[in-house]
Structure 1
Amino acid sequence: MSRLLPALALVLPFLITPSLAAAEVATAQRQVDAQQLDAAEATLETHLARQPDDSEAQFLLARVRAWQGRPEQALALYKLLLQREPDNADYLLGHGQALLWAGQPQAALTSLERAAEVAPDYLEVQQVMQQARAALTSPVSATAPLAAAPAQRRHELELSARQDWLDNGFDNWRSQRLDYSSTQPEGLGWYGALLREQRFGEWDNGVEAGAVIALDDNWTLQPEVGYQPSPYFLPEWHADLRLQRRLPAGFLGAASVRRTQYETTRVDRLALSAERYWDSWRAGYTLNVTDVANAGTPIGHDLALDYYYQGLSYAGVRVTVGEEEAVEEQQLITSDVRALSLQGRHWLDDRWALTWEVGQHRQGDYYTRRWLQLGLRHAF
């Protein structure tokens, strides 16, 4: 018996330590479930001081720090975890979420796309990929599941020029735009543009401005206005209000109303849209119902299909059919339209991108218009 007690004294710590470690991680998880993030962080830090290589505790601590609004500190832990298990879909997802909340949505897509390859049926990976793309294309993305995670604001500036060639004796068109946008996941976003267009030998100048307001995790409101001080063919002003709802399984739904005021008439439009994101694809459809004062109610359909590659670079096709109003020599006309265009944005690195668009638009029997647009975009 005297020999057994010293042996037990040596073995007992090794028997107790694993169960104690599991109990500490379980305690931290209960604290997280109760949204006691500070307490959970303290529990995990104490535990990791004794067992610094516990991957389960490191993973939970990384998520806690991201939920506390410190995604940069979470990224250091995810780096260690991914060094050990580079194909762990949970770690890749968490790494992508932390990058998104740190204001690096394009970098987030690299981890998320890898997670989608490893676990193609992982629904949450698809949802966060959608949020990362939305964070770069609009100011709407999801919040952290337990606490708001502030992310850096992203600004983008684009200078573009467009040339339109018309047949049937119509003069060609030209236009230039300077677009600016400021986005932040779960924050207020805004955008604006300066524009000038030449048609029929005349130049029109104008400005546009809008905002995207996240009402909650799923609803966003987007008001927009435009104004031309002395228009010849552009409208005097327009106002648009769009309400968008994020739906399960990568779907988005939206409705918008728009009023456009010309010198001689007014145009009201109702647009109903549906979008779906899955894997590297986005598909969209919009029904446009337009009320032209004293000129009928044209109905049009817009279809879109985009393929994303290398983060947020994409190429897409747009198709328009139905009826549409157009301005010809200061007269508003309505006619059948058929339009097809290809467009895209190719990111050269994290800051610079080239944008492009080519297309053809048939405006009833009036003319066929073909165009080319090129732009240079800078993120900062």
Structure 2
Amino acid sequence: MKRAVMLLALALPCGAALADVATAERQVQAQQLDAAEATLRAHLAGQPEDTAAQFLLARVLSWQGHPEQALPIYRRLLQQQPDNADYLLGEGQALLWAGHPQRALESLERAAQLAPDYAEVQQVIQQARAALTVPSTAAAPVPVVDAATRRRHELEISARQDWLDSGFDNWRSQRLDYASTKPESLGWYGALTREQRFGEWDEGVEAGAVIALDENWTLQPEVGYQPSPYFLPEWHADLRLQRRLPDGYLGAVSVRRTEYETTRVDRLALSAERYWNAWRAGYTLNVTDVANAGTPIGHDLALDYYYQGLSYAGLRLTVGEEEAVEEQQLITSDVRAISLQGRHWFDSRWALSWEIGHHQQGSYYDRQWLQLGLRHAF
């Protein structure tokens, strides 16, 4: 009898512990996050080493909009189990929602190495990259993080040189780009542009926004204007609608109108992207309607490899037909283009952007280019 009583006494704490965690899980499912937090804190006051309760509390704090409070819990859990992909995912989400997407990628990419088929890890990696990139694929977690999340600003100055054959003059261009992003909030971007072709300079301005409609849908309007163009369009307007899909997929459709002095160009673009591990692949079908000049169709392919957070190197291929400006005339011809591009972050604030490429504009000319830019985040 004594033995049975002793065994029952030993079993009671374990049973109570399981009951507390199960109660908190039911409260989470009922969206009673405050009650779940109270249940878990009361339980951990008596059993502070219960890792299941700690893990659930960290997630509850993040879901409540207090990711900074969750981070010390994740650090303690990872000290005990540094190769736990669930803990790394949770830490990555908390860092992202706390406004540290660059640091979040370190935890998330480690989780992806340990669990390559973990779909949610790939999804949050995509969100972290989107939070640092404009135009972005912004996707809001649920529940929404509070307003304390920091906004990120980026400024880049770049220059480009194009070399043309067949007796054409070379081209030059300079850009000043600005972008502002904040997870789960409105993003915007703009640029001042200056280009030289055919001995003439055109100057213009571009502006756009990235609007997260919910956790899956993103709307992106963009406009551009050149006040006194010689070879560039007078203006363009673009509207892109994007949908985040399961397993790292994205789908998008965009419509664009470009108005030149002598003609108008309308374009429909259908895009699909896939993110997995440290890779991104993309395809875009461009169907263009050139006023009084036919309907060229083009195909764009992209493959990117991410390393050290947001640093990446990528390949771009273009085939099909495309419109181009020759002097002040718009022409349509077969194109073949290949380029390599990337961005290398030296630290969390400074990055070098680069691109080299070769473009064949039918029988008119071949063009090679080199572009370099210096980017600063603040």
The residue aligned with 1:117 is 113
One-letter amino acid of the structure 2 residue matched with residue 211 of structure 1: A
The residue aligned with 1:174 is 172
- Aligned residue among 140, 144, 150 for 1:148: 144
2:49 is aligned with 1:37? no
Q: CA deviation at 1:179?
A: 0.6
One-letter amino acid of the structure 2 residue matched with residue 287 of structure 1: L
Contact 1:101–1:152 (CA<8 Å) still a contact in 2?
no
Contact 2:37–2:60 (CA<8 Å) still a contact in 1?
yes
Aligned residue for 2:132, secondary structure, equals helix
One-letter amino acid of the structure 1 residue matched with residue 47 of structure 2: Q
Inter-partner Cα distance in structure 1 for 2:245 and 2:56:
28
Contact 2:137–2:242 (CA<8 Å) still a contact in 1?
no
The residue aligned with 1:20 is 16
The residue aligned with 2:298 is 300
The residue aligned with 2:258 is 260
Q: CA deviation at 1:18?
A: 2.0
One-letter amino acid of the structure 2 residue matched with residue 140 of structure 1: T
Q: CA deviation at 1:201?
A: 1.2
The residue aligned with 1:69 is 65
- Aligned residue among 173, 195, 200 for 1:202: 200
One-letter amino acid of the structure 2 residue matched with residue 61 of structure 1: L
Contact 1:44–1:61 (CA<8 Å) still a contact in 2?
yes
Q: CA deviation at 1:11?
A: 7.8
TM-score normalised by structure 1 residue count: 0.95
The residue aligned with 1:291 is 289
Choose 128-137 or 64-73, whichever is displaced more: 128-137
The residue aligned with 2:375 is 377
Inter-partner Cα distance in structure 2 for 1:167 and 1:180:
33
What are the superposed Cα offsets for residues 220-264 of structure 1, whole Å, 9 maximum, x if unpaired?
A: 111100001111111100000111111122111111110001111
Contact 1:140–1:185 (CA<8 Å) still a contact in 2?
no
Choose 19-28 or 167-176, whichever is displaced more: 19-28
One-letter amino acid of the structure 1 residue matched with residue 140 of structure 2: T
One-letter amino acid of the structure 2 residue matched with residue 222 of structure 1: Q
- Aligned residue among 332, 336, 339 for 2:337: 339
Contact 2:177–2:190 (CA<8 Å) still a contact in 1?
yes
Q: CA deviation at 1:13?
A: 5.4
One-letter amino acid of the structure 1 residue matched with residue 137 of structure 2: V
Residue correspondences, number: 375
TM-score normalised by structure 2 residue count: 0.95
Inter-partner Cα distance in structure 2 for 1:141 and 1:61:
26
Q: CA deviation at 1:14?
A: 4.2
- Aligned residue among 80, 85, 89 for 1:89: 85
Q: CA deviation at 1:87?
A: 0.5
2:328 is aligned with 1:323? no
The residue aligned with 1:237 is 235
Inter-partner Cα distance in structure 2 for 1:40 and 1:152:
27
Inter-partner Cα distance in structure 1 for 2:118 and 2:289:
44
One-letter amino acid of the structure 2 residue matched with residue 272 of structure 1: L
The residue aligned with 2:220 is 222
Q: CA deviation at 1:152?
A: 2.4
Inter-partner Cα distance in structure 1 for 2:159 and 2:301:
24
Contact 2:140–2:216 (CA<8 Å) still a contact in 1?
no
The residue aligned with 1:80 is 76
Inter-partner Cα distance in structure 2 for 1:112 and 1:173:
42
One-letter amino acid of the structure 1 residue matched with residue 164 of structure 2: L
Q: CA deviation at 1:313?
A: 0.9
Contact 1:212–1:220 (CA<8 Å) still a contact in 2?
yes
Q: CA deviation at 1:142?
A: 3.3
The unaligned stretches of length 5 or more in structure 2 are none
Inter-partner Cα distance in structure 2 for 1:12 and 1:277:
52
Alignment of 1:44-55 (within 5 A): 44-55=40-51
Inter-partner Cα distance in structure 2 for 1:253 and 1:191:
22
Inter-partner Cα distance in structure 1 for 2:281 and 2:88:
26
The residue aligned with 1:162 is 160
One-letter amino acid of the structure 2 residue matched with residue 309 of structure 1: Y
